[in-house]
Amino acid sequence: MKPMRFSWKNICLPISCINNNTNQKTTTNPSKERLLLLSRQNSVPSKVYMSDFSNSTISLNDLSSSFLVNVHIFTYEELKTITQGFSKYNYLGEGGFGEVYKGFVDDSFKTALKAQPVAVKALKREGGQGHREWLAEVVILGQLKHPHLVNLIGYCCEDDHRLLVYEYMERGNLEEHLFQKYGGALPWLTRVKILLGAAKGLEFLHKQEKPVIYRDFKPSNILLSSDFSSKLSDFGLATDGSEEEDSNFTKSVMGTEGYAAPEYISAGHLTTMSDVFSFGVVLLEMLTARNAVEKYRAKKGRNLVEWGRPMLKDPNKLERIIDPSLEGKYSVEGIRKVAVLTYQCLSHNPKSRPTMTTVVKTLQPILDLKDIQNGPFVYIVPVAGSIEVHDIKCKDDVKVVKEETEEAKVCPRRQAGRRKRRKHKAMKSRAVYSDTALYKSLGSSLYTPAN
C-alpha cells in the first residue's frame, strides 16, 4: 500500500487557505451550525472559543474573518522577504512549536500596517505537531487585545506552512534576565513591575465570559519591551475554562515541568486556579533567582516549590532564600508581602489560592514602597590585602572605587619575590544596579504618572 503524504490540509484550514464552500454543504453538527450562524452575523461579531473546534470537522474555514481584530494575512513569500529568507542572522530562538525570526515591515508592505519590527514564528510540520497550538494562537490572540498580551499582527496558512507574526519585544523574555550568569542582576522594583504586568494579563484572560486558562505560565513566556513592560506570549496550550471547581478534566497533562498545579498533574483537574499556582512558582523564582526544577542539585532541593515554600511563612528563614545578587537592595516590607502572596498561590488546595484580581491588588502597592537602600551602588575592585579605598570613577548612580594595598608600600624586591611565590585567584562579582540608574540609562521612567 502506498503511504499517504502528510499535509496540513488533512487537518483544517483557515478561510484564507481555500475557497469557502460552506453554502454547498449541509450539516447536523450543533457546534458547526452555531459557527455557521455566527459567521453570517458580520455586523455584530461574536466571540469564538477553542471548544468550538473540539470536533475535527470544524475549522477556521467555517468562520468569518470579522472575528479577528486587526489581524493581517501574509503569504509565505512575504514572510520570507521580511526575514531575509529566514536568515540565521535574524534567528531569535526556538520554542516548543517552532523557530522564531526577526523581520521588518515598512509602510508600503500592507495597507493599514505601520512600519515596525516583527517576530515571525514558523511552526514545525513534522507529523502534524503544533497545528492545534497554531490554531489556538490565531483564535485567542486574534480576538483578545490587551496591553499585557503580545499582539498578534498576522498569520500565514499556505500549503504546508503555518506561521504567526507578532510584535517584536526588544528585551526578549524574563528567563533571559532573571537567570543570567553574567551582567547586572535584575533590580527588585523591575521584577515587581514585570510580574505585575503578567498578573494583569492573566487577570484579563480569567475575566472573559468564558475564562481562558493559560496553562503554560513561566518566565520564558513573559516577553519584555524596552522599558521592561511585560506581555504574555505563546498561547498554544491555552484553552477555554471556568472558575467552577468541577468544570474541566483532562486526561493529557500539558505544560512545563515544575509549573503545573498538583491537582492538574494528579487528577487532570484544570481551572483558572491552575494558572494561579503557576504564577506562584514564578513569584518564587523572582524571589530566589532559582529555576523551578534544578536537576543538578541534591534531591531535596531540586524542586523549588518543595524547597522554598516552607520558608516563605517564616520571617527568620525568609532571608535565606532571597536572591543574594540583590545584595539587600530591596524593600523588606515588599519582600514579606510577596512571600505571603507566593505562599498562598502555592497552596495545594485550589480553594485557598487567591484570584488573579487579588494578586494584582496585592502587587500594585508594592511598587510604591520606599524602604529600599538609598545611595549609589558601589563596586569595589577586589584586591588582596586592601587597607585604604579611594574613589576613581562615578557615573550616574554607579560608583567604582579602587583599593590601595599593602603591597604598594612594600620594597620592590620583596614585592617581586612575592609575585613568584603567590598564585592569585580571580574573584567574581555581580553588579547590582539600582532601579533609578537602570531606567535613567534607558531614558525612561519606572512609573507611569497617575492621571
Mean pLDDT of all residues in 108-115: 84
Question: pLDDT-based confidence at 249, cuts 50/70/90?
Answer: low
pLDDT-derived band at 213, boundaries 50, 70, 90: very high
| More confident of the two residues 388 and 307 | 307
Residue 134, phi then psi, degrees to nearest 5: -60, -45
Give the residue numbers annotated as catalytic, written as ranges.
Answer: 216
Of the pLDDT bands very low, low, confident and very high (cuts 50, 70, 90), residue 103 is: very high
pLDDT confidence of 423, banded at 50, 70, 90?
very low
pLDDT in tens, 47-91: 777 777 665 445 555 555 557 778 899 999 999 999 999 999 999
**pLDDT tens per residue, range 174-204:** 999 998 877 778 999 999 999 999 999 999 9
Higher pLDDT, 376 or 272: 272
| Average confidence score pLDDT of the chain | 76
Q: Which residue is listed with cell 501574509?
A: 74
What pLDDT is attached to residue 125? 67
CATH architecture of structural domain 174-368: Orthogonal Bundle (1.10)
AA letter at 347:
S
Q: What are the CA-CA distances from residue 210 to residues 33, 35, 55, 89, 378 (Å)? A: 20, 16, 19, 41, 51
**Closest among 236, 66, 239 to 164, alpha carbons compared:** 236
Is a pLDDT exceeding 60 seen at residue 365? yes
Assess whether pLDDT exceeds 50 at residue 257: yes
What is the chain's Cα-based Rg? 26
- DSSP annotation of 406: G
Name the more confident of 196 and 99: 196
Would you state the pLDDT for residue 86? Answer: 93
What are 371-420's pLDDT values in tens digits?
Answer: 886 544 444 455 555 444 444 344 344 444 444 444 444 455 555 555 54
- Predicted local confidence at residue 396, as pLDDT: 40
Q: For position 308, what pLDDT does the model report?
A: 93
CATH 3.30.200.20 region(s) of the chain? Answer: 8-167
**Burial environment of residue 89 by CB neighbours within 10 A (0 to 12, 13 to 18, 19 or more):** exposed
Statement: residue 444 has pLDDT above 60: no
Highest mean pLDDT among 3-12, 130-139, 374-383, 440-449: 130-139
Nearest to 83 by CA among 156, 177, 174, 160: 156
- Bin 396: left if φ > 0, else alpha if -120 < ψ < 50, else beta: left
* pLDDT surpassing 50 at residue 233: yes
| SS3 category, 121 | strand
Helices (H) then strands (E): counts for the chain: 13, 13
CATH architecture classification, 8-167:
2-Layer Sandwich (3.30)
Per the CB < 8 A criterion, the answer to whether 385 and 407 are in contact is yes
For residue 390, what pLDDT is reported?
Answer: 45
**How does residue 341 score in pLDDT terms, banded at 50, 70 and 90?**
very high
106, pLDDT greater than 80: yes
**Pairwise CA distance, residues 86 & 78, whole Å:** 11
Element (H, E) at 166: strand 161-167
Q: What was the pLDDT predicted at 416?
A: 53
Q: Is 47 annotated as a binding residue?
A: no
Bridge partners of residue 105, in order along the sequence: 116
Top-ranked range on mean pLDDT: pick from 236-250, 258-272, 293-307? 258-272
Q: Is pLDDT at 116 greater than 90 in this prediction?
A: yes
Say what the pLDDT of residue 29 is. 52
Q: If you average pLDDT over residues 288-317, what whole number do you get?
A: 86
Residue with cell 498554544: 236
- Give 110 or 415, the one with higher predicted confidence: 110
Q: 60 versus 278: which is more confidently predicted?
A: 278
Taking alpha carbons only, the member of 83, 77, 47 closest to residue 166 is 83
Window from 99-108, 255-264, 376-385 with minimum mean pLDDT: 376-385
Neighbour-count burial of 102, counting CB atoms closer than 10 A to its CB (0-12 exposed, 13-18 middle, 19+ buried):
middle
What pLDDT does residue 389 have?
A: 43
User: Which pLDDT score is estimated for 242?
Assistant: 54
* Residue of 199, 223, 220 lying closest to 279 (CA atoms): 199
Phi, psi angle pair for 322, to nearest 5°: -70, 140
Give the residue among 363, 369, 378 at the shortest CA–CA distance from 330.
Answer: 369
**How would you classify the pairing of strands 212-213 and 377-380?**
unpaired
CATH 1.10.510.10 region(s) of the chain?
A: 174-368
| Average pLDDT value for residue range 263-291 | 95
Q: How far apart are CA 284 and CA 362, in angstroms?
A: 15
> What is the model's pLDDT at position 207?
95
